[in-house]
A and B are shown apart, each in its own frame.
Chain A
C-alpha cells in the first residue's frame, strides 16, 4: 500500500457564535494557513475533499460557496461528503492510494450558532418513527450514559473526572472554546450535567495529505497514516448495546490499531460517557494520553470535530510529542458510526 501522510493541519479558534462572519469567511484563514504551512497553492493540490452539512447552514448546496473560497480556478478535481470532515479525509486518502493524486486538501466546517443544534440533530433520526418525536442529542446521549451507569461501567464522579481532565488539558490549546477547570454544573438531562456535554460552537479545520517522498518534502516529520477504517452500526438504538462500540473496535482492528500500542489518542467523544465506551472498545490503558487537546469537550464544531481529532493527532506526531497516535471520529446518535486512523512518525531522536 502506498505511504500517505498528513503533512499540515490548521483550525480556527472555536467560538460560541460567529455572527460577524459567513461560513466561507470563517474557513478562508484556515485554508490559507494550512497551505502556507506546506508552501502549496490551490493549483498544486491533486485532490480536494470537504465535509459539511446543509442542515447546519440552513440551505441546500451550502458547500458550493465554500468551494468559491477555495479558489477552484483553473478547475480542480474535487469532491464532498455530507459527513464529518474525517470521512472527507478518508475519501482523499483512498484517492492518494490509487495513485491518481500525490497531494490532497481536506477541509470541514460547521456553524451551530444560527440554530439549536440539539434540535437540528434530531432531523438525522429515522424520519418515520423517531424524528417526529424530536428526541434531542443530549437526551439520547443521556440514555447511553445511564445504560453505562446501570451496567457498572462508570458513575457520575468518574464522568466528572473525565470532564475536568479534558478541560484542564485544553489550557494548552489556544483554539479551544472551553479551557481550564470548570464547575460540573447541574443536570442537562439526567445523568448528564453541563460539564458532561460539549460546548456548542462554530469552527473549521483543514488538513493537507501527501504521498511518499512528496510528504517528506513538505513536512519535516510527516504523520504517516498506517491504517484507516470506519464502520457503522444499526440506526435504531433499541437493537444496539449502548455500553459497547463494536464498530469502533472493528474499525480499530482493520486500521491496525491493536498491532502495537499507541501513546496518544484523540477521541471524538462529545459526551464524557462516550469516552468510557471508546476507551473500552479501543483497549486504551492508563499509559495512553487521551485528548491532550482537550477533545470535543473543549471544542465541538459539528462536522469539523472529527477531522480536528485526526489533525490534532497528526500535529502531535509533527512536533514529536507522539510516535504512534490513534485518532477517532464519530457520526450519528450514540456513536453510531466510527472512524479510526493510526498515525506514526518515523523514528527520531527526541
Chain B
C-alpha cells in the first residue's frame, strides 16, 4: 500500500456574492461557479470524474436534498454525486470529502461545489422552527454567540475596541475582492463603532451579511496538477472534528474540537510554529470578535493573547499574519459556501492568484470553517509546493 495520492487544487471559481441573485436559479448559480473553476483548471465537464456538493440546511432554500435536482446543472449525470452537510463548516467538509476521493485514488479529477441562495427563502425562519422537547434558540446565530464573545472579553481582558478593528479591516479588504458581497466604500472605524448594537457586544457592522453565492474547486491528482495551466495549490493537511453541542465540559470560547482539528492539520503538514510558518489565514469569522478568539484556538496566539495580534495590526493585509485578505465571512456569507470560500481563498493565495488582495509571497495558507454551536470544525492547509512524501 503506497502513501496517499497528493491532492492539488487546480481550479477555483466563485460567483459575485450579493444579497439576491434574481437573475439565476439555484442551478444557474452553482453552474456559474463550477464553470469558472473548470475554466481556471483548463478543463471541461467531461474531464470531471465525480462531483461533491455541500450546503447548509435544506430549509434555507426550501429544497429537500437539492443535489438530486442539481445533478444536471453540475454535469454530474452518469457520475458519482455526494452531498455533504455539516452545518456552517459544510463548505470545508465538502472540500475535504472531495480531496479524500483523490487521495484514496478512487477518482483523479473531482469537482466540488458549495452554495447558498438565501434570497429564495428566509434563513431566520429556517433556523427557528420549534422543536418539541428541546430548548428554543430563537435569537438567531448572533444571540447564540454573543454570550461566548462576552465570556472571551471577560476572560482575556481585551479592550472593547478589538471587534470593530476586525470589522474595519475585513470590510476594507473586501473592497479589493471583486467577488465580495459588501463593498462599503467610505467605511471608517468611526462608522463601525457607531453602528447599532445588535447583540451586546456585537454591533451591526460587526456582523456578517446574508448572501447568495457559490464557490467551486477542481481537485486533481499529481498528473492532473502537472497538466494544469496555472500553478496549483497542494493540500498539505486536512481534518474535521466534532464535539457535542451543549454539555457541562464544553469551552464555548475555545472549543477542544477546534484545537484538536488544527493540531491534526499542523501534524500532517509538518507545521510546528503556525505563527511563523503560515503566511495567510482565511478564518471563519461571522462576528468580528471571532478573529481574536480563533487566533488563540488555532494556535497563532497563547490563550488570552489573540486580541493583541489584532490590535497591533498583525492580521492586516500588509501585516505579518494576514487574516481574511478576501474580506472574510464578515463581508460575504452564503452560509453553505462560506467554508469553501475560506478553503478556496487560501488556495488562491498560495497559487498567487488572489489579485488585489494577494498576500505578497504567500507560500502556506490555512483555510478554516466551523459550524453548529461551535461544534463542527473543518480545516485545510495548502502550500505552493507539493507536500513532502
Contact = CB atoms under 8 A, between A and B. Distances in A.
Nearest to B247: A73
A235 B58 CA distance: 17
Contacts of B4: 98-100
B63 A94 contact: no
B80 A64 contact: no
Contacts of B1: 2, 99
A135 B249 CA distance: 48
Interface string A56-100: 001111011101100111111111111100010011001101111
Nearest to A229: B80
B71 A82 contact: no
B243 interface: yes
B26 interface: yes
B80 A73 contact: no
Interface stretch (A147-155, A170-178, A197-205, A331-339): A331-339
Given A94-B101, A131-B63, A234 B242 contact: no
B218 to A, nearest CB: 18
Contacts of B101: 94
Size bin of chain A's contact surface: 35 or more
Contacts of B104: 94-95, 97-98
B222 to A, nearest CB: 15
A327 B264 CA distance: 35
B356 interface: no
A124 interface: yes
A346 interface: no
B297 interface: no
A232 B78 CA distance: 5
Given A60-B129, A64-B245, A98-B100, A232 B79 contact: yes
B270 interface: no
B59 A54 contact: yes
Interface string B74-89: 0011111111111100
List the 6 closest pairs (A to B, CB-CB), nearest first: A60-B57, A75-B257, A97-B104, A78-B242, A82-B85, A123-B64
10 contacts: A2-B1, A22-B133, A54-B64, A58-B131, A59-B59, A94-B106, A98-B100, A123-B62, A124-B64, A250-B78
Given A68-B244, A78-B241, 14 more contacts: A54-B64, A60-B56, A61-B57, A65-B134, A75-B241, A78-B376, A94-B101, A98-B100, A120-B64, A124-B68, A229-B80, A231-B79, A232-B67, A234-B77
